[in-house]
Structure 1
Amino acid sequence: MDDINLARARASKKRTRIQAENEEKILDAALDVFSTYGFRGATVDQIAERAGMSKPNLLYYFRRKQDIYTAVLQRTLDMWLAPFGEMDPDGDPAEEIGRYIRVKLEQARDRPQESRLFVGEIMQGAPLIDGMLRTELKEVVDEKAGVLRGWIADGKLRAIHPVHLIFMIWATTQHYADFDTQIRALLGSGMENPEVFKAASETVLDVLLQGILPR
């Protein structure tokens, strides 16, 4: 590669990195704004100000407020599906399911805003992300339900309904993000407290795993 082409390649790589960083900055700012004002109350100007960039610069990356909102929810779904997709059909069910539960609890502790924004969209009937739910989410759930059925057929899990087990894991772990205010009122602190997180993790893991492992 000659010097000119090498310089262009480096510039292109640098631009791609900067673009990715700016997009993440916008999505982080948008998460804060949407979590505070909701989709209807949020404005592009608020998001741009929170991101520390001009409105025209922001609109270079996302044309509409709806595009930003959808991208935030897509990022949340990707975050949730990544550890779920790593469930190994050749692994030990208790270890694989236990690892997934622990990661979901860590996400509830570390990224609660994402969960609350996502559940708000679902409660409204998922008008902007229905396509995501019916395609990529359903595909991963169907695939992992097949993994659970395989473990059931091998006698490694009790004969439970695999999809409803997945629902139960989601409901139990995301409770610690979505009902944080209630948890603080009852326990005096949230999941950032190591003792609360430890007790929650041990309880959820014990109850769920003891309920699905062969007796």
Structure 2
Amino acid sequence: MLETKKIANNLDDELDDDDNVSLDEMVASAMSETGSTLQELSEELEGLPKSMLLQSIKRLFLANKIKKFRVGKQIFFKKSTAEEERLYNSNDEVEDDEQTPDSKNISRLARKFRSCRYIVKRNYSTDNGLLYSLMVEKKGIQYYIMYFSSFSGDDNIVFSKMLENDKDIRIVAADNRTKIEIAKIFDTYVEKNGGLDEFNKDHAFLILTMSQFFQKTRWKMLV
């Protein structure tokens, strides 16, 4: 209870990563084994603003730390079991012989973001039908990332669709050859849509190869 009030009293300051982790652990621990409603959690965590509680629940749900289920018209939340978390994370095991090279590369990217306390969703579908390799989220901000091991001129429509979802284009290429091919097609795309100067007024084209992504903190360029 005292810890809840301590966090709530710091609303004027943006929560840092450690605060979020502590808050999420506290919210998850407050859930009963059979499930708790939002109202029950609010009462259990007296002093915690509802907005902070909802954000915490969202982070926990996207990270598969909790489950949501309905009984009648009432929604309940409960902690995921160790087995459920294991199954969720198993998609990122590079030791799985059935994974393709591309899937293994996306797994490496996902683990890197998770290790830096981002919420990560793979194969994330948006309202305009675009399927992203990764959606990563931190402090309520979402970033949509595409991974490509090959790219052709016919794929250039993806640029417009990406800009419908995000102000910037974020891409990881398997290698430098693929990166150069994407960059060439992007140059053609912007030339047909007002030019690079016009594009740069509101957007950014962010692209790294796999090797560049893992060079110290260079991955931060994408977020």
Q: Scaled by the length of structure 2, what TM-score is found?
A: 0.25
Higher strand share: 2
Higher helix share: 1
Q: Scaled by the length of structure 1, what TM-score is found?
A: 0.26
